[in-house]
A and B are shown apart, each in its own frame.
Chain A
Amino acid sequence: MKFCNTKLFCRLAAASAFALATATAAAQPIKIGWLSSLTGPLSSAAIAENEGVKIAVDEINASGGILGRKIELLTRDTAGDPTKAVNFAQQLAFSDKVQFVIGPVNSGEGLAATPVLARAGIPNIVIGAIDELTNYEKYPRAFRVINTNFQWIDTANKYVLDTLKKKKIAVIADTSGYGTSSAKTAIELLEKAGVKPVYSVLIDPNKTDLTDELNKAKAAGAEVIMPWSAATGLLGRLLNARGDMGWNVPVVGHPALMAAQIRKLLNKPQYWDQTYAAGYVSTTYDANGKLPARTQALVDKVRPKLGGGGEIDVLFWWVAMGYDTVKVIEHAIKKAGSTDPAKIQKALEDTQGLEGVYATYTWGPKIRNGFPDSNMAMNAANTFKDGSFNRAPQ
């Protein structure tokens, strides 16, 4: 049986079929998987990031989508569990067939899930800070939006050495994998700058009192304490021990020093004075008490939802980063002209100076960390207001 009687008819049929297929593809939504630990450890960060993600998706869909296609967000709650993160990553990649994955939120989950997504060849927006999560050879389609842990440490070290002009440093970290490796990096960087810490120690994160450790640091002549731990209990005890001893030295280190939970753990509110942590230009008030315009615009947009019309009581950089993850995907699809993974990779590799709310991003063929050092800032921990902070004394 002959289906095409004439050449013209065959061409018309082929053209129609192509047009139909294109129209169908255009009508199909862009599926974005979102691996978020909405419950469990570190859920407060994920919940805030989730607000940013949802606002960006709603905003894009309300304006007609990307290249005429709406976004379909597939949120999966990993509960902070690496096993669940891997299972959901596989489900999103092979069953739901998403075109992008944002997350997971926690670095431990990321270490488990990122290789899975890399094997599936799916573009992955990384929001975990530990350095091992990106590698242009092993995970070519994993592009990091958040800063690296190295940037936190480097920013804090430079503040101590260059701004506070302190050379006698006590490095205190917890015994977790994160604390141990961060302390090692911090000490290496300090030694590279010609400063050997006068005291360094690893402490069990559940240690009930830190007075003895601070006494040793004091006896060693420390002029500044640099803690590297995300354990708010340990940081609260450290600040309490410093306050109870009446030892008036600055504490400079991990962003968890600024967490709202710390304030509640302090014996006295003034124990939070002289505490500075690595933060971001985007969520730092300038001398006139103003935020950068892009941040302020997003603050105004999310205030009804996050602050009930009043003050925002979560760290706003979480919201801004969540918002940017979707905007980065929008940028990549528009630049690539499709959702083809290889073209998306190329589009992101060619991205320079993409202005987001949280940061201005630049990636390259061999660069997967898009957050620039210049967007880092040092904040004063006790200045939390409306989700952002004042700059640490210069």
Chain B
Amino acid sequence: MLTVLVTGLATGMLYAAVALVYNVMFSTSKVLSVTTGHISMLGGVFGAYFISTLGLNWVIGLVGAVLVGAAFGWLTDVLAIRRVLARSDEHLWLLSTLAMATMVQQAVGLWWGTEPKPFPRLIPQEFGAGIWDQKFWLPIGVAVLMAIGLDVFYRRTMYGKLFLAMSEDAFAARARGVSTDKIRVMSYILSGALGGLAGFAAGQLTFAYFALGHILTLNGFIALAVGGLGSNVGAIIGGAGLGLLSALASYWFGGEYQQTIAVGLLMLVLLLKPEGLLGSKKVRPV
């Protein structure tokens, strides 16, 4: 049973990390990009490529994966967000980010192949360590570090405060001289880097697999919605809860119910507490 819990927690924390990435993008653009899970997919695939194929040191592989994620985040803003937000208030970003997610998945499938490939061992450790295996604890540790790091960033740095200001009211921030476009681009680069890091950390758990993007996009969104949009603590709780529930559902009822229960959880939370467990209620000023 302990294995089930640790496996569920590790998978859930990967979802939580993706939910954190959603939060960073959402804070400055109010966009829930479909490419979010694909950033982590790129982190895993490029991490394996740099280390296993090119034979680079894992630290360089990590830096490379983070840079690829950051570049993809920037590209997402340039191709799928910037012009769409400038021309329309409607949710057309859903289509533009979906198109971009599909294109990157196809491209990776053609280049990397459609079968999962192994992700290298990062820390010297014997296989058979059970629940202490690094494949479980790396994604858990990285998600927690990401949440703490983001909290420090928002509270202690000027740019973090600018992110928060845009999150509160982008028009007011612009009226006070904040370059909102620049901050939004920065948030996409940051979210790309974090997504790449999360995918790299979870590589041993997920393998380097081209089709991982959509799965992470969906489950990361469920974690975000359950925890509460905009709340980093909520994202961690939502992700961990989703991972544990899925693992326990699979253990007790079989894999055929796993997704149903995950989506059922989302519906239940949305019905009972639409703003999520730790989300703030929106009050419309009149």
Contacts and interface: CB of A to CB of B under 8 A. Distances in A.
Interface of A: 39-44, 174-175, 180, 201-204, 206-209, 211-212, 215-216, 232-233, 236, 240, 243-246, 259, 261, 264-265, 267-268
Interface residues of B, number: 32
Given A203-B250, A211-B7, A232 B127 contact: no
Interface in B201-238: 205-207, 209, 212, 215
Interface string B97-115: 0000000000001100011
A174 B254 CA distance: 10
B117 A202 contact: no
Contacts of A175: 255-256, 258
A89 B116 CA distance: 30
B7 A40 contact: no
A207 B118 contact: no
A353 B207 CA distance: 45
Interchain residue pairs A-B with the least CB separation, the first 10: A233-B116, A203-B255, A267-B127, A209-B7, A244-B128, A204-B255, A261-B115, A212-B4, A208-B205, A211-B3
Given A201-B255, A233-B207, 19 more contacts: A40-B114, A175-B255, A175-B256, A202-B255, A203-B250, A203-B254, A203-B255, A207-B250, A207-B255, A208-B205, A211-B7, A211-B130, A212-B3, A212-B251, A233-B116, A240-B127, A261-B117, A265-B118, A265-B207
A236 B204 CA distance: 12
A201 B114 CA distance: 26
B11 interface: yes
B256 A236 contact: no
Interface of B: 1, 3-4, 7, 10-11, 109-110, 114-118, 127-128, 130, 135-136, 205-207, 209, 212, 215, 247, 250-251, 254-256, 258-259
A212 B136 CA distance: 14
Given A175-B256, A202-B255, A209 B127 contact: no
A233 B209 contact: yes
Contacts of B251: 212, 216
B138 to A, nearest CB: 12
B116 A232 contact: yes
Given A209-B205, A211-B7, A244-B128, A40 B256 contact: no
B206 A208 contact: yes
